[in-house]
A and B are shown apart, each in its own frame.
Chain A
Amino acid sequence: MLGPFLETLIGGLLTGVLYSLVALGFVLIFKASGVFNFAQGAMVLFAALTIARLAGAIDNKEVFLGQFVAAAAVLGVALALVGWYVWREYMARGGGGDERRKVLLLSLLGAVAGGAAAYAYGKGAWPMWLAIAATAAIMGLLAYAIERLVLRHLVNQEGIILFMATLGIAYFLDGFGQTLWGSDIYKINLGLPKDPIFLFEGVFPGGLLVDPGDLVAAVIAAVLVIVLALFFQKTRIGRALRAVADDHAAAQSVGIPLNMIWLVVWTVSGLVALAAGLIWGAKLGVQFSISLIALKALPVLILGGFTSVPGAIVGGLIIGAGEKLSEVFLAPILVKQFDLAGGGIENWFAYMLALVFLLFRPQGLFGERIIERV
């Protein structure tokens, strides 16, 4: 009994790390801007689609558009960064004039050149590192577009309005990604080992079966989670983020540029989405249902608290483990007792778990105790 239990538990915990990763994307944005970003799942799907199509064998022509865009994005962003740096140095030496426009022009030209190069290069798969870099650039541009076109116009609106706006973004991205890249099921090949390994063969008869792919993915996710936590705690931008999270107006008044911060945060959670998309895509294949894993991350959020990085981590582990254990051990009992047409309780069990938990601790695992005032 203990063997299967542990096996399920480990499997659940490994999945849980991935939930943590998606939840972390939510937490970053909520912490820094108070926006409940429903588009996180759509961002995961979008990133996964982009990587899969760039790195995969490309055999039909519609993809060409996407490749063009990707190449343009990489070169454009790279040149913009270089240009920005040069411009800043130039300004620091007392320069003047409208250099900013030149930088923009330069990056636009770079984008066109990059697109043309990709066009000339024609069909064929890109190496994985280039695909990932291109996707990262695209996620950065996406963050920029979202800040510029949406968030900037919705400053000081109520939370529900911002939430709705992210629902709109989610719809848009789902459609956009599939228009650009097509909607078949794609594979991402990270070269992860496939053969199951067995742990503790001495302790349990037959050992514990663990999927090495899961293990590698979990390690990658764990490293990312730790890096992000450090980024938040230790860097200057991290401090600025925490200041913004505490009080927008106060942070602005001490000279923290709100727009810049939002851009950084959305870019970072775009990168988190990229990592999640990469891992999930390698695990399950890239398909529309990936955007639904965002929904899996929501119980993690209410369990861990919307603003807590450690909460997202621990919450993810609890939800991952609880979900698998319930499916393996509770579902068969339910099916037998109530004559159900199959189990599948993992779709709601996590939510119920989180809900019941919330009844006893409304601020979540790591949230601060709420003192109400009038």
Chain B
Amino acid sequence: MLYREAGQFKTTYGADQQIFPILQDRIFVLAVIAAALLVVPLFASQYLYTEILIPFLILSLAAIGLNILVGYCGQVSLGTGGFMAVGAYAAYNLWLRVPEANNLIVVFLFGGLMSAAVGILFGIPSLRIKGFYLAVATLASQFFLDWLFARVKWLTNYTPSGSVAVGDTSAFGWKIDTPMERYLFILAFVVVATVVAKNLVRGHIGRSWMAIRDMDIAAEIIGFRPLRTKLTAFAVSSFFIGIAGAMWAFLRLGAWEPLAFDINRSFQILFMVIIGGLGSLLGSFLGAAFIVLTPIVLNQLPGWFGVKMSTALLSHLEFMVFGAMIVFFLIVEPHGLARLWAIAKEKLRLWPFPH
């Protein structure tokens, strides 16, 4: 009864093209954002911030970026970790070398832009290489970038171990230091980025991506330029991923080495996108939540039953459970959590009178 669209008539095309055409959806989303902004800081512990909320938000952003490329434009990429690294190290070098730019917003945007540039470069082969060939080709970027940040000393400011650290982070004079401040800053960034992503995918550019995804030959015949469209997707995708990488480095890790962005990171983000739902921004959030929470729950589980396990065994079991869950999920719902959500909503619309 509560969730009905009946009686909400759209009288202009503008009104029909809103992000959430149904009033209840709008209220719900605003309520979630308000709660995240106002209620969470009232009770959240340090652990909740640093181990759950901050990783969740940052990885959601990366997942949105990857979803644009894989879910909307249909170009499978296994190089996400590499692009996150580009964002992180570009941001680091700007922060390090240009003291005037010690403003997290500027630094992060720079990281995103550099990542977008690299993304365009590695996206060029996509004109000629398709499908899994492209997926493997994107691994080239992953390994090359891994190597680049491990070996080119200038990029890591000649630190002997290759590990770099940042301190003193602020934005427009607001010193971002405590977990709560970090959380709020990231939240704001992610909300804005999500709105931007939504605007892109629902407009002309998003349609061009989806056209290439669904049938690239037909798309070219009706006038889309394949290379330009794919490169736009690579650029926008890597932009988001680059920002996420810079955030991960600056606000989650503080000190890091290239290993933080290795191929396992790429897989992790890809899992989020697939489990959450290809071609769904909501799915990116759901997938990120799932991937962040699962290992935490798995680690707690034996304790709840009073079983003691060695850390090594626990990590092996984690691998097993994780792999099994991914397979299970793909079998049960290959379109991801977002589809389950949509089905639930559909049910709710009819509730309590299903006929």
Contact = CB atoms under 8 A, between A and B. Distances in A.
Please indicate which of the listed interface residues B76, B136, B334 has the most CB atoms of chain A within 10 Å of its own CB. Answer: B136
A171 B129 CA distance: 27
Nearest to A372: B217
Contact of A340 (B132, B151, B313, B334): B151
Interface in A159-202: 159-161, 163-165, 167-176, 178-179, 183
A157 B140 contact: no
A171 B294 CA distance: 14
Contacts of A120: none
Interface residues of A, number: 52
Contacts of A179: 313, 316-317, 320
Contacts of B144: 348, 351-352
Contacts of B270: 164, 167
Nearest to B332: A153
What's the interface size class on B, roughly?
35 or more
B226 to A, nearest CB: 12
B326 A164 contact: yes
Interface in B137-161: 137, 139-140, 143-144, 146-147, 150-154
A179 B319 CA distance: 10
B131 interface: yes
A277 to B, nearest CB: 18
Contacts of A169: 323, 327
B57 to A, nearest CB: 24
Contact of B128 (A159, A178, A359, A372): A359
Contacts of B153: 339-341
A164 B274 contact: yes
Contacts of B313: 179
A173 B319 CA distance: 8
B42 interface: no
B322 interface: yes
A352 B137 CA distance: 8
A150 B267 CA distance: 20
B125 interface: yes
B218 interface: yes
A354 B319 contact: no
Given A168-B330, A351-B139, A178 B316 contact: yes
B41 to A, nearest CB: 36
A175 B319 contact: yes
Which of A159, A172, A372 counts the most chain B CB atoms within 10 A?
Answer: A172
Contacts of A342: 151
B152 A159 contact: no
B323 A168 contact: yes
B324 interface: yes
Given A175-B318, A344-B150, A358-B128, A374 B221 contact: yes
Interface string A316-350: 00000000000000000000001111111101100
B76 A160 contact: yes
A310 B76 CA distance: 27
B326 A351 contact: no
A164 B129 CA distance: 20
Given A153-B331, A174-B319, A302-B136, A168 B129 contact: no
Given A159-B132, A344-B151, A345-B147, A171 B137 contact: no
B69 to A, nearest CB: 13
A354 to B, nearest CB: 7
A36 B267 CA distance: 15
B317 A298 contact: no
B342 interface: no
Contact of B331 (A154, A158, A348): A154
Contact of A347 (B135, B137, B143, B278): B143
Given A164-B274, A295-B139, A347 B147 contact: yes
A169 to B, nearest CB: 6
Interface of B: 70, 76, 125, 128-133, 135-137, 139-140, 143-144, 146-147, 150-154, 162, 217-218, 221, 263, 267, 270-271, 274, 278, 312-313, 315-327, 330-331, 334
Given A178-B312, A306-B132, 14 more contacts: A150-B331, A165-B326, A167-B267, A169-B327, A172-B320, A175-B316, A298-B136, A302-B137, A341-B150, A351-B140, A354-B136, A358-B125, A358-B137, A359-B125
9 contacts: A159-B131, A165-B326, A165-B330, A175-B317, A302-B137, A306-B132, A347-B147, A358-B125, A359-B125
5 A-B pairs with least C-beta separation: A175-B319, A172-B323, A171-B323, A168-B326, A351-B140
